[in-house]
């Protein structure tokens, strides 16, 4: 996330950063007051009162999460649920899929979802991709290898692409296809095998009662 934001900052973007784990965000209770009673406003009072308008107005939403047991963290899921007031209750069908129209939302807004996981393959991001199908995806398997010099060297192109993506998105609202491709790390099979082997060696060295 830092590398992407560095690129955006270079382009003069106005950046506001929040840690979802520090925010008071309750889960959606499905009352639908935000549609039928107080349109556009949730019945619950918490940090979404001030955060939701900022989310609606932003040109770019950059969301980051670790993957825990194949899914995004619960904090981000609660935030996602509570964006329901940004949708209208009506339905429409487009290309075979049913949607709700957006309410008072920046139509040019781009969402970027950055996710990291421990396993070395992309299967771990299926749920995240399904939850944010229209986002720009930044997926980094086995992110912990950035803690080693060899890992940083291996992922040098990925890190550079992050900075480029942040800068060009802030400048033009777009990210070139070739840069997007670099934002999803797909290790060759031999690299996966090495990551697994090194991990198992490290895990075996930890003295625990199994």
Tell me, yes or no, whether 209 lies in a domain.
no
What distance in Å separates the CA atoms of residue 181 and residue 171, rounded to the nearest whole number? 19
Count the alpha carbons within 13 Å of 182 in the hemisphere toward its beta carbon: 18
What distance in Å separates the CA atoms of residue 15 and residue 21, rounded to the nearest whole number? 19
Q: Assign 210 a pLDDT band (cuts: 50, 70, 90).
A: low
Instruction: Give pLDDT tens digits for 119-153.
Output: 999 999 999 999 999 999 999 999 999 999 999 99
Instruction: Give pLDDT tens digits for 12-46.
Output: 999 999 999 999 999 999 999 999 999 999 999 99
Give the mean model confidence (pLDDT) for residues 175-181: 97
DSSP structural state of residue 120 = S
What is the CATH classification number for the domain harbouring 158? 3.40.50.360
How distant is the alpha carbon of residue 21 from its chain centre?
A: 14
Rg (CA), the chain: 19
| Domain count along the chain | 1
What distance in Å separates the CA atoms of residue 118 and residue 199, rounded to the nearest whole number? 10
DSSP string for 27-60: PP----HHHHTSTT--SS-STHHHHHHHHHH-SE
- Residue 139 is part of which domain span? 2-87+99-204
Tell me, yes or no, whether 210 lies in a domain.
no
pTM assigned to the model: 0.93
Paired strand residues for 112: 62, 136
């Amino acid at each position: 996330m830092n590398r992407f934001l560095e690129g955006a900052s270079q382009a003069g973007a106005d950046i506001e950063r929040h840690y979802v784990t520090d925010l008071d965000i309750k889960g959606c209770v499905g009352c639908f007051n935000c549609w039928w009673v107080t349109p556009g406003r949730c019945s619950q009072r918490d940090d979404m009162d001030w955060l939701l308008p900022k989310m609606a107005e932003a040109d770019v939403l950059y969301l980051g999460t670790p993957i825990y047991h194949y899914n995004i963290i619960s904090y981000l899921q609660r935030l996602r649920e509570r964006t329901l007031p940004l949708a209208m209750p009506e339905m429409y069908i487009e290309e075979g899929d049913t949607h709700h129209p957006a309410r008072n939302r920046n139509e040019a807004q781009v969402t970027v979802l950055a996710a990291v996981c421990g396993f070395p393959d992309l299967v771990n991001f299926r749920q995240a991709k399904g939850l944010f199908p229209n986002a720009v995806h930044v997926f980094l398997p086995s992110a912990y290898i950035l803690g080693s010099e060899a890992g940083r060297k291996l992922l040098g192109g990925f890190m550079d692409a992050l900075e480029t993506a942040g800068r060009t998105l802030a400048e033009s609202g777009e990210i070139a296809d070739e840069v997007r491709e670099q934002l999803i790390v797909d290790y060759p099979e031999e690299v996966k095998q090495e990551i697994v082997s090194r991990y198992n060696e490290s895990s075996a060295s930890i003295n625990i009662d199994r």
